[in-house]
């Protein structure tokens, strides 16, 4: 389970819409399962099919959040046309098993679908997204 | 020689939850070997047969090791090394 605010949810959807037709990506920092900060990141692939965060920018984000006692608890990205479920690429590249992977699908543009998953050793399990 | 090392969240189960540790090594390769001695299993997360895995970025004072001398990159007292697994998908 991951808890986010309505503002976080709105921001994820807005980011996805703004970056379409490319996938967007970003990070959620907090404690335990409670998200406190959302940080948009640049998808350096600039692709409708893939996303990647520049590792140096990633380190800078981790470092800054570490200094204020927040941990990475979620990674979000968008699927511009496919469902909100981890793709084979998502599963094979999932390098943060302790984080929730949030996916927002714009397959139905007026009804963005946001879901969360854990991806551990190639296995996907859905987690509840609680919006406060 | 004390090198400050940033440990990303996926590896912290091997460092008792610590996000920053200190280790020794005159090169990145030697540092990783020392980290593995101190925190068994950490070396295998980072490397495959002593070569840093493709999806792991290693920063030395902000510079990625693949723009330096890879595992042979020399380290000095006070250097800061960070291990950052790639964050990507599709």
Cis, bond preceding A21 (omega within 30 deg of 0): yes
Q: What is the number of domains present in chain B?
A: 1
All domains in chain A, ordered by first residue: 2-131 (3.40.140.10)
Residue A95 in contact with partner chain B when CB distance is under 8 A: yes
Residue A51 in contact with partner chain B when CB distance is under 8 A: yes
CB-based contact A56 B62, cutoff 8 Å? yes
Res B1: pLDDT: 81
Residue A44 in contact with partner chain B when CB distance is under 8 A: no
Tokens describing residue A101: 């992977």
Block residue for tokens 């840093």:
B52
- Each residue's pLDDT, cut to its tens digit, for chain A (132 residues) gives 999 999 999 999 999 999 999 999 999 999 999 999 999 999 999 999 999 999 999 999 999 999 999 999 999 999 999 999 999 999 999 999 999 999 999 999 999 999 999 999 999 999 999 999
Evaluate whether B53 touches B47 at the Cβ level (below 8 Å).
yes
pTM of the shown model: 0.94
B50 found inside a domain: yes
B38-65 pLDDT, tens digit per residue, is: 999 999 999 999 899 999 999 999 999 9
ipTM of the complex: 0.92
Give how far Cα A67 sits from Cα of A16, A19, A36, A62, A111, Å.
28, 30, 14, 9, 37
Task: Give first-to-last CA distance, chain B, whole Å.
Answer: 41
Residues 6+ apart with CB under 8 A from B45: B10, B11, B14
For chains A and B, count residue pairs whose Cβ atoms are closer than 8 Å: 72
Give the minimum alpha-carbon distance from A130 to chain B in angstroms, rounded to a whole number: 23
DSSP B34-88: HHHHHSTTHHHHHEETTEE-TTEEEEETTEEGGGTTGGG-B--TT-EEEEEE-EE
Tally of residues, chain B:
90
B90 found inside a domain: no
Q: What residues in B contact A90, CB-CB < 8 Å?
A: 89-90
Tokens describing residue B56: 């792991």
Which domain, by its residues, includes B17? Answer: 3-85
CB-based contact A90 B90, cutoff 8 Å? yes
Say which of B9, B59, B89 has its CB closest to residue A93.
B89
Residue A29 in contact with partner chain B when CB distance is under 8 A: no
B59 found inside a domain: yes
Residue A99 in contact with partner chain B when CB distance is under 8 A: yes
Q: How many CB atoms lie within 10 A of CB A54?
A: 15
CATH assignment at residue B42: 3.10.20.30
Residue A93 in contact with partner chain B when CB distance is under 8 A: yes
Tokens describing residue A16: 């996805």
B15 found inside a domain: yes
């Amino acid at each position: 389970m991951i808890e986010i605010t309505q503002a976080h949810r709105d921001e994820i959807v807005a980011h996805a819409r703004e970056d379409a037709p490319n996938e967007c990506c970003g990070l959620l920092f907090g404690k335990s399962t409670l998200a406190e900060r959302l940080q948009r990141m640049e998808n350096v692939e600039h692709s409708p099919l893939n996303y990647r965060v520049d590792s140096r920018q990633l380190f800078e984000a981790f470092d800054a959040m570490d200094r204020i006692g927040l941990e990475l608890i979620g990674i979000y990205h968008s699927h511009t046309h496919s469902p909100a479920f981890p793709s084979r690429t998502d599963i094979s590249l999932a390098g943060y098993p302790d984080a929730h992977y949030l996916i927002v699908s714009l397959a139905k543009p007026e009804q963005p679908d946001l879901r969360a998953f854990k991806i551990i050793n190639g296995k996907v399990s859905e987690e509840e997204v609680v919006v406060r | 020689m004390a090198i400050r090392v940033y440990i990303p969240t996926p590896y912290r189960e091997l460092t008792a939850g610590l996000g920053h540790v200190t280790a020794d090594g005159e090169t990145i390769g030697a540092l990783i070997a020392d980290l593995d001695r101190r925190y068994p299993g950490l070396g295998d997360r980072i490397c495959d047969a002593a070569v840093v895995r493709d999806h792991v970025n290693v920063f030395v004072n902000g510079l990625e090791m693949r723009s330096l001398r890879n595992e042979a990159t020399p380290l000095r007292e006070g250097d800061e090394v960070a291990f950052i697994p790639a964050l990507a998908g599709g």
